[in-house]
A and B are shown apart, each in its own frame.
Chain A
């Protein structure tokens, strides 16, 4: 394997990992703070992809479609939290799994009714459609680099919000001790709605920016949710930092697994998860 090939795979792995992070970070926050297992989180990724595909048709601009899509996704998340998830806070995980699994079925069915079962493509925006030549035969698409850059910027923004702002302190305090946080006058119900809407928007955003690479197809969220849970478990439930490292580790393992050990590639990420859990049973950054 020559260096250029290695570089391309490494970039792909990092970029896939960053995309996973957008999904897993919301999942881990919703799990860690609200104690809700949200199986439908992957369906939000699909919603994002279909949103950007249909909105590109409306606005004729990828960026405008994404902005409008984020607003729609956040609103969808808010509504789902207010009317469905809110009933799950004091219930056990089985109820949560049942309701959010039901939500996947509903979202998939709505998708089929509205868009049918064809596979759709979303064009890479022309501004970033170029490729950077690496050798005579190999080149790397600019869009993938832009995607990685946007994901990194979002990761930094999340880190900053959670670590440096009062809102972030409230979210962390609420995760540590919900009653005490409420007793300081902070409305946990509004925090929950906000976190859920933001998590939904992040997962949908991941689906939107992935759409030009992966195309848009029915059930595309179903694979994503499993791998996102693997990331959450590796990183430690509730830890955004853990989700970041876990997502990169999974992204690289999966990408290199496919090229180096193709016959084993499907089990590589689970082997990684098992190894991490043997070493740290609660994940890399488990909360005390």
Chain B
């Protein structure tokens, strides 16, 4: 499988604290990968290192075959990686409509499959709130806006950190359904979430991190069949 993202040997620090200790992370075209681990194990830091937001001190990040290790986050994004961050990243002062308008652009190969109309078909609730300030939306609506905005960049990979954190059960179900639908369109996804059961059903591959190291990287189906591994590393 062609690698969209191929990160090798990432060592990332916050100041003097050494957080990632040689993380390898790969995402293939159309592949759905989850990144699991207890609190503070380095999931967000791994995603941020891939996206160029927190620069790894050692290691390399290759995107679609190009070395992006030192590239600006915007250049990495333009290689077809879209980010739905922890906390959703809604812009204060921008309406829902403006969030969608400002994000829309063709994908790295010029595709324009995702338009505002299509995003609003996926998220009818956003269509009703186009003129609201993004920051006035409910948590679930903000997550939909964050995902919709990411899709409008026509990405090859969608990276979701804490995809359903802080949302009511019914809203979570909606978000999972949307992620399933996105997966069905062939977009690769990287998902961090607390709901291990859904993740194992939804994803092709699972990566488990403990203290800044990858301790498991394999098919989600195998992990599901071997509860001992989850027990050891995640405590389930």
Contact = CB atoms under 8 A, between A and B. Distances in A.
Contact of B85 (A180, A185, A186, A187): A180
**What does DSSP make chain A's interface, helix, strand, loop or mixed?**
helix
Given A170-B102, A173-B102, A186 B93 contact: no
B53 A179 contact: yes
Interface in A121-152: none
Contacts of B94: 169, 172-173, 176
A287 B92 contact: yes
Contacts of A179: 53, 73, 85, 89
A30 to B, nearest CB: 18
B97 to A, nearest CB: 10
Contacts of B93: 172, 175-176, 287-288
B103 A183 contact: no
Contacts of B21: none
B153 interface: yes
Q: Which of A175, A177, A180, A184 has the most CB of B within 10 A?
A: A184
A176 B95 CA distance: 13
A176 B93 CA distance: 8
Interface in B30-46: none
Nearest to A239: B93
Contact of A180 (B72, B89, B153): B89
B46 to A, nearest CB: 15
A112 interface: no
A166 B92 contact: no
Given A176-B94, A186-B74, A169 B89 contact: no
Nearest to A173: B91
Contacts of A176: 91-94
A93 interface: no
A172 B101 CA distance: 13
A76 interface: no
A189 B72 contact: yes
Interface in B127-152: 135, 149-150
Interface in A165-222: 166, 169-170, 172-173, 175-177, 179-189
A146 to B, nearest CB: 34
B77 A184 contact: yes
A187 B92 contact: no
Contacts of B51: 183
B233 interface: no
Contacts of A170: 102
Nearest to B53: A179
B73 A177 contact: no
Nearest to A186: B74
Nearest to B77: A185
Contacts of B149: 184
Contacts of A186: 74, 102
Nearest 8 pairs of A and B residues by beta carbon: A180-B89, A169-B102, A185-B77, A182-B73, A176-B91, A183-B83, A185-B78, A187-B74
18 contacts: A166-B102, A169-B101, A172-B91, A179-B85, A179-B89, A181-B91, A182-B72, A182-B77, A183-B82, A183-B89, A184-B103, A184-B153, A185-B77, A185-B105, A185-B153, A188-B74, A288-B92, A288-B93
